[in-house]
Structure 1
Amino acid sequence: MSSFGGGFGSCSVGGSSSFGGGSGFGSSSSGGFCSYSGGIGGGVGDGGLFPGGEKQTMQNLNDRLANYLNKVRALEEANADLENKIKEWYDKFGPGSRAYESGRDYSKYYEIIEDLRNQIIAATINNASMTSPIDNARLAADDFKMKYENELYLRQSVEADINGLQKVHDELNVTISDLKIQSESLTEELAYLKKNHEEEMSTLQTQSSGDVTVEMNAAPGADLTKLLNSMREQYEELAEQNRREAEEQFKKQSASLQTQISTDAGAASSAKSEIMELKRVLQSLQVELQSCVCVNLHLHVSLEGQICQIRGETECQNTEYEQLLDIKTRLEMEIETYRCLLDGEGR
């Protein structure tokens, strides 16, 4: 009985060590089985025939041993099947195989990443191309603003010149009025001189007639007539000289005044025409500036909307890109885990 127990214990230890080792079941299990057989033989040789109870126990032990061996064979078959599957998988997906190389080929992810990168670059270029018209419109607006300021400065300068010419025109009007007054005064003075001359002439003629009568009565003389004639000639010559001088002075002053009036009128007319032209240019520039401001505002609003849209698309693309990177990282971790498992199974 003791030797049977030793034989069964030997079989159990051999079976456990062979299955726990995981290095093939055939040799170890057969060794355990032989050890068990040896134990049976030793027991029969030493003790002879078994009693009835011991036979039943032996039958149970044999049944249990048969079940155990069946389980061992099933596990050996399952182990062999798993080894074949692992070998097939290792041949297909292990290092050096095409599937392994294709498994490490992330070209499809690289293509997606490259596509996303190209989309980001295209969006950046599109944003830059949209920024360029804004800068051009801003520069054009600044240019028109500078032109407007220059035209405004010219307008103010012309208005200042016109105000100065207006003052000169007013002074000329005052001078003309003074000259007219002087001309009227000279005309009145000339008429007064003529009247005095005529009165003096008539007085002298009257006196001359009376004296002649007296002299004729007293003593005739021929020098008085000559004296009167010479005095009359002197007065007439003096009056004519005063008249000519006054007339010449009046004509000179009138001519110079007329020339100055014509010059001032021409300057005023040219200044008015220039003012009208500047007003027209100013109005056209204001209209153009207003249109440029409207276009700039429209472009700004449109570009703001496009930039917001591009920013949203870029954020979505970045999110997708991060998700793809996360997927790629997890795939790499899983592949690395499978590789470690395969390396452990291979060792």
Structure 2
Amino acid sequence: ERKVELLMDEIGFLKKLHEEELRDLEVSAPSPAGLAEVEVCKPELTAALREIRTQYESIAVKNLQEAEEWYKSKIQSLTCEVDGLKGVVRAGEPRGGCREQTPPRPYAAPLPPQNEALQRQMREMEDEFGEEIGSYQDVVGRLEQEIQQMKEEMARHLREYQDLLNVKMALDIEIATYRKLLEGEESR
């Protein structure tokens, strides 16, 4: 659950960062035509962010289910171990008042191997979750890289659009000039 919360917080942070950078791009655009390009790119970017969010949510749900399954299996295995230890302890308990009580030391003997097994299991889990965290960090890094590439591509498209708009405006001016010339010729 903590991982899911961290991932959701990171998604929120990346969205805010992206929106700020979009605002910076809009402010730095020299003409109102740049705003139209940003508006055109917003649906694509929104769709990409929505897709990333659904991927994160599906990963989070999957991890939550895996964690619940793992938790249930560990509880079940520990319950079985406790029941087994209870059986060992009961087998060694004196039955009746005539017997002399034995010291608890012989029954403590199985605990060190169990302790070692639990410590080994704990180390394995730390390694497993360390690898999982590493894989999530790789995913986050890859997604950040994709976001950066999308930003660069969006900026490139914005520049291309502005260049095309400038060419269009120059052509419109030239067409208007030719029209005036033609109208002048027709009026003579």
Give the TM-score band, short-chain normalised. 0.5 to 0.7
Q: Distance in 2 between matches of 1:238 and 1:188?
A: 21
Structure 1, gaps ≥5 residues long: 1-154, 310-347
* Residue number in structure 2 paired with 1:188: 68
Give 1:169 deviation, angstroms: 6.8
* Residue number in structure 2 paired with 1:226: 109
Change over 3 Å in CA distance of 1:223–1:247 after alignment to 2: same
Deviations 1:64-117 (A, max 9, x none): xxxxxxxxxxxxxxxxxxxxxxxxxxxxxxxxxxxxxxxxxxxxxxxxxxxxxx
Change over 3 Å in CA distance of 1:225–1:290 after alignment to 2: same
Give the letter aligned to residue 127 of structure 2: E
Change over 3 Å in CA distance of 1:231–1:276 after alignment to 2: same
Give 1:293 deviation, angstroms: 0.5
2:177 paired with 1:295:
yes
Change over 3 Å in CA distance of 1:196–1:250 after alignment to 2: same
2:165 paired with 1:264:
no
Give the letter aligned to residue 256 of structure 1: D
Give 1:170 deviation, angstroms: 7.1
Q: Kindly indicate whether structure 1 or structure 2 has the higher relative contact order, using CA contacts under 8 Å at least 6 residues apart.
A: 2
Q: Distance in 2 between matches of 1:251 and 1:258?
A: 10
2:160 paired with 1:278:
yes
Equivalent residues of 2:94, 2:100 under 8 A apart: yes
Q: Distance in 2 between matches of 1:204 and 1:229?
A: 16
Change over 3 Å in CA distance of 1:301–1:285 after alignment to 2: same
Give the letter aligned to residue 61 of structure 2: I
Which of these residues, 82, 102, 117, is aligned with residue 202 of structure 1? 82
Give 1:264 deviation, angstroms: 1.4
Give 1:175 deviation, angstroms: 4.5
Q: Distance in 2 between matches of 1:266 and 1:246?
A: 30
Change over 3 Å in CA distance of 1:189–1:225 after alignment to 2: same
Q: Distance in 2 between matches of 1:238 and 1:189?
A: 20
Larger Rg: 1
Residues matched between the structures, number: 145
Q: CA RMSD in A?
A: 3.8
Give 1:168 deviation, angstroms: 7.7
Change over 3 Å in CA distance of 1:288–1:300 after alignment to 2: same
Give the letter aligned to residue 62 of structure 2: Q
Give 1:246 deviation, angstroms: 3.2
* Residue number in structure 1 paired with 2:9: none
Give 1:259 deviation, angstroms: 0.6
Change over 3 Å in CA distance of 1:172–1:253 after alignment to 2: farther
Deviations 1:3-46 (A, max 9, x none): xxxxxxxxxxxxxxxxxxxxxxxxxxxxxxxxxxxxxxxxxxxx
Change over 3 Å in CA distance of 1:203–1:231 after alignment to 2: same
Which has the larger displacement, 285-294 or 218-227? 218-227
* Residue number in structure 1 paired with 2:16: none
Q: Distance in 1 between matches of 2:47 and 2:142?
A: 14
State, as a whole percentage, how many aligned pairs show the same letter.
8
* Residue number in structure 2 paired with 1:254: 136
TM-score, scaled to structure 2: 0.57
Q: Distance in 1 between matches of 2:67 and 2:128?
A: 8
Give 1:283 deviation, angstroms: 2.7
Q: Distance in 1 between matches of 2:164 and 2:140?
A: 35
Q: Distance in 2 between matches of 1:233 and 1:283?
A: 72
2:94 paired with 1:211:
no
* Residue number in structure 2 paired with 1:237: 119
Q: Distance in 2 between matches of 1:200 and 1:270?
A: 57
Equivalent residues of 2:89, 2:107 under 8 A apart: no
Give 1:184 deviation, angstroms: 1.6
